[in-house]
Amino acid sequence: MAHTALLHPSRRRALLGFGALCAAPTLLLTGCFSEPKERKAFIEFLDKEVLSARGMSYPVPNEGKRQTFGDYAKHYDVVVQFIEKMEALPLAKQIQDVGMTTSLAQLKARREQITAISNGIPQALQDIRALVATADKAKAELKQPEDLKPVYDKVYAKYVTRHSELMLGILPALQNIFTASLELLALADQHPKEITTVGGMTQVSSQRLLNQVNAISAKMVKEVEALNKLESELRKL
């Protein structure tokens, strides 16, 4: 006759607890074995896809690819979240909407937009510095192996550090251009008969006023050159 061994409930709990302890090293080892593959996949992604992207464009991995990075996917999130927040700044869309103004008539038509952007630039500069501080703090908290850190640092330098440095130069140059534009508009408003627009061309009937217009225009040209240089650097990143 077969006998069935009955264990006291406390004995069964003890054995279950022992089983869990035995399984724990297996789970830990599984995690350890997967980390090198995840790190390798992440480094390859950063090196071959992210760093090779032109300008501020950046690849967005799908969920399947993110899973191959393991916890390192969160490291990339630090960079992507910074870019997304920069793009979401209200001023970014306003600047795009204004576009290039090449005549006094266009300046007059866009006076309100130019004034709003010019007034908003100081706040935008503060917002960018705050975003950089947040990203820097998040980066400092990341734990990265020696082979990953230099590659990640290059990505971070491009999309966060250098990107923000250029924007902190671009916005003041843009503000100077808009300030000069509003100064030119104010001068035209004060002298509507002497400063006129004919066929898209600005005509000034007084030499004194012409000298003032030329002085303002010279300031604008200088700032536009500085702006173009900074934007060119941004595109080359």
Indicate whether 106 belongs to any domain: yes
Inside any domain, residue 23 = no
Residue range 35-79, pLDDT digits in tens: 999 999 999 999 999 999 988 899 999 999 999 999 999 999 999
Q: Does residue 26 sit within a domain?
A: no
For 3-46, the pLDDT digits (tens) are: 333 333 333 333 233 333 334 444 444 455 689 999 999 999 99
Asked if residue 211 belongs to a domain, the reply is yes
* Distance between start and end Cα atoms, the chain: 82
Distances (CA, A) of 31 to 17, 37, 72, 103, 152: 21, 11, 13, 64, 22
Residue at 133 is within a domain = yes
Please indicate, yes or no, if residue 108 is contained in any of the structural domains: yes
Would the pLDDT of 124 be above 90? yes
Count Cβ atoms within 10 A of the Cβ of residue 195 and give its class: 0-12 exposed, 13-18 middle, 19 or more buried.
Answer: buried
In a domain, 215, yes or no: yes
Q: Residue 210 belongs to what domain range?
A: 35-236
Domain count, the chain: 1
